[in-house]
Amino acid sequence: MWELTEYLFRWGHFVFGITWIGLLYYFNLVQTEYFKEAEAAARTDAFVKLVPRALWWFRWGAMFTLLTGLGLLGFIGAGLTVDIAIGSIMAIIMFGNVWFIIWPNQKILIQSNEQIAGGGEALPEAAAAAPKAALASRTNTLLSLPMLFFMGSSAHFSHGALAGSWTAFVLALIIILAIEVNAIYGKPGPIASVRGVIVSGLVLTLIMYALVSLVP
């Protein structure tokens, strides 16, 4: 029964995680690029009719990915690897970005576009909300590549127990926190474009891999 319970948590983690990260990639690789080229009326219509639906699945996918992930961490217990520790930290930060940066700012944009669709004026705060949501979303896309790498390597290519890799873990944590500080207070820089965020994500994955492989 215990093994079945653990597997159900793992299955749920897969399902909710695919929903969350799949929509993250849709927003960053498809929708954002479309909005750059779309007519104003089309963008407004999408914000009123499409975006709220996508964001509902997006944020609740993130929520239940987190909950099932925490359940799995409870099952792992003393067997915690440095891989799953790093992957989990990135996932938790990504969850925080969804609920505390992306969603609050996207709500402002949705309300602003609803007013425009009704013949009113855009909300004044919408101009500041858009880049905040965009930077947090781009940051999550950046973090998603190493996060998924370490989630997978924890079971198939593990770098050992967390207890034996504290230095590597702390260095990785410093890098992750620096990226998150930029997500809150900084600028997109190289991750502003689709190509840039993909390349940056791959480079970050390589750096993290080198850390856990070479640093004790």
What is the residue-level pLDDT of the chain in tens, covering all 216 positions? Answer: 778 989 999 999 999 999 999 999 999 999 999 999 999 999 999 999 999 999 999 999 999 999 999 999 988 766 789 999 999 999 999 999 999 999 999 999 999 999 999 999 999 999 999 999 999 999 999 999 999 999 998 778 777 788 788 999 999 999 999 999 999 999 999 999 999 999 999 999 999 999 999 887
Determine the Cα–Cα distance for residues 213 and 81; give it in Å rounded to an integer: 13
How many domains does one find in the chain?
Answer: 1
Contact 207, 175 (CB under 8 A): yes
Determine the Cα–Cα distance for residues 82 and 85; give it in Å rounded to an integer: 5
Is residue 64 helix, strand or coil? helix
pTM, rounded to two decimals: 0.95
Containing structural domain, residue 65: 2-214
Contact 129, 189 (CB under 8 A): no
